[in-house]
Structure 1
Amino acid sequence: MVKVDSDGAGYHILWGLTEDAVPTSELPAHFLSHSERIKLTGGKDRVIMHCHATNLIALTYVLENHSDLFTRKLWEGSTECLVVFPDGVGILPWMVPGTDEIGQATAETMQKHSLVLWPFHGVFGSGPTLDETFGLIDTAEKSAEVLVKVLSMGGMKQTITRDELIALGKRFNVQPLQSALDLYP
């Protein structure tokens, strides 16, 4: 865990990285995403977290890697998902990790989504606190786990409908990603 200096010119190690360990090769993706989320949220989002969420990764092998489709399936997999990430899930094309290219693409996608999925690799999440950011990723991962199980049992027979998703958004005063709502009835 690192904390960026107030002038943005360096960082301090708060936890981990003992002995000769060095920061992840994906640090540029973290910093670029952090910068975008700070601008977008007026400083509210202070945490960028990246992890290798097994079930989210698994879904990248069986679902079309399309942001609206992934978003809609996760919303349908667990009622709280629409409330926790109404802005949906961004998905990048596969890229080599640790490159400037994937860092820039992640940051650009973070302009629209607080969750960004790297197919076959992992997920980035952004939020105001460690707890909220972990909760964001964990909520998506729990829904992905449900979907993995449902798909292994032959697929969905019924799910949360578009109208029910809209009602859920109204009840919790969140605006769902319209393109994901409009994907199908």
Structure 2
Amino acid sequence: MTSQLTVDALLEQMGVAGRRLDHLHAAEAGAGNISISIDWNTDLESVFTEKQIGVKLPRKVPALAGRTVFVTGSGCRLREVADAPEKSVSAFIVDKGGETGTWYTHSNKTYQRPTSEFNSHLAVHNDQVVQRGISFQAIVHAQPPYLVALSHISETLNNKDFNRMIFRWEPETIVQVPEGIAVLKFMVPGSDELMENNVIGLRDHRIALWAKHGIMVRSNFSALSAVDIIEYLETGAMYEHMNAASGGKSTGLSDDEIRRVVSAFNVKTDMY
């Protein structure tokens, strides 16, 4: 992401991503959440009619000082964000020190507070600024059914086996997501434990699996690009499910076949 998008353009991104997640059945009812962090100034008051100064953030994020973070509200339906984004999304300008921020909302908002997983969003935004100095980042949390269903199988709930299940069905998968999935064990949603492990998982991966719950994905390009990553991996999980349902007779791509794809497309990966 290089262009400095307007508030309306950023909210449109979030709306398009929300609808695509709904099409994937990955954001049932009020499940799932989206955030975007930017390092440029925007005219927040052109969209958001109210603001509160000095609102305490759920996580200290000093690297985000002066930056703006857009986030969906707790319980909001992601499929409805596009219809009236100002009702489902709010924005924070983070104060110096990263403990508080000015919270911009609309008088017709349909939520009382940001998503309960705002701590995980903020922590990843903060860490990626520290690690990579990014100016833009979109983060999506969703609950894609095939990926989540496979995360309930304890025997394969580890980085090696889970990734092998997903990546053996389509040659495109290793090309599009060469770093693979960071697989995390079950942790209570919204907890500090999940937040801290998720930051580590997303430091060198763009997607982390939250076992028996969902996934979190980051993109430096757009919210829809984050959803694209979900779609590639959810498709692999769907094939894995279809194979199991038909008796497990398919072999999928062999490791050697995937290595040939890696070589042909000059993919930088340590998975194969």
Aligned residue number for residue 134 of structure 2: 43
Give secondary structure in 1 for the equivalent of 2:152: helix
In the TM superposition, residue 5 of structure 1 has moved relative to its aligned partner by 6.5
Instruction: Measure, in 2, the Cα distance between the counterparts of 1:75 and 1:90.
Output: 13
Instruction: Measure, in 2, the Cα distance between the counterparts of 1:172 and 1:45.
Output: 27
Q: How does 1:10-159 map to 2 (within 5 A)?
A: 11-12=69-70, 15=85, 16-17=88-89, 18-43=109-134, 46-62=137-153, 64-128=156-220, 129-159=222-252
> Unaligned stretches of 5+ in structure 2?
1-33, 40-62, 73-84, 90-108
- C-alpha offsets along residues 134-164 of structure 1, whole Å, 9 cap, x if unaligned? 1001110111111111111111432211121
Instruction: Measure, in 2, the Cα distance between the counterparts of 1:33 and 1:82.
Output: 24
Q: 1:13 to 1:31 in 2, by over 3 A?
A: closer
Name the aligned partner's letter for residue 85 of structure 1.
V
- C-alpha offsets along residues 106-150 of structure 1, whole Å, 9 cap, x if unaligned? 001111211100111101111121121110011101111111111
Aligned residue number for residue 163 of structure 1: 256
- C-alpha offsets along residues 29-83 of structure 1, whole Å, 9 cap, x if unaligned? 1111223334445427611111011100010123521012111111102221101
Question: Which has the higher mean CA deviation after the structures are superposed, 113-122 or 62-71?
Answer: 62-71
Q: How many aligned residue pairs are there?
A: 179
Aligned residue number for residue 8 of structure 1: 64
Give secondary structure in 2 for the equivalent of 1:77: coil
Give secondary structure in 2 for the equivalent of 1:37: helix
Instruction: Measure, in 1, the Cα distance between the counterparts of 2:159 and 2:180.
Output: 7
Identity among equivalent pairs (%): 23
Question: Which has the higher mean CA deviation after the structures are superposed, 52-61 or 14-23?
Answer: 14-23
- Please report the RMSD computed on the Cα atoms of aligned residues, expressed in angstroms: 2.3
Q: 1:66 to 1:12 in 2, by over 3 A?
A: closer
Give secondary structure in 1 for the equivalent of 2:218: strand
> Unaligned stretches of 5+ in structure 1?
none
Instruction: Measure, in 2, the Cα distance between the counterparts of 1:65 and 1:150.
Output: 18
Q: 1:152 to 1:140 in 2, by over 3 A?
A: same
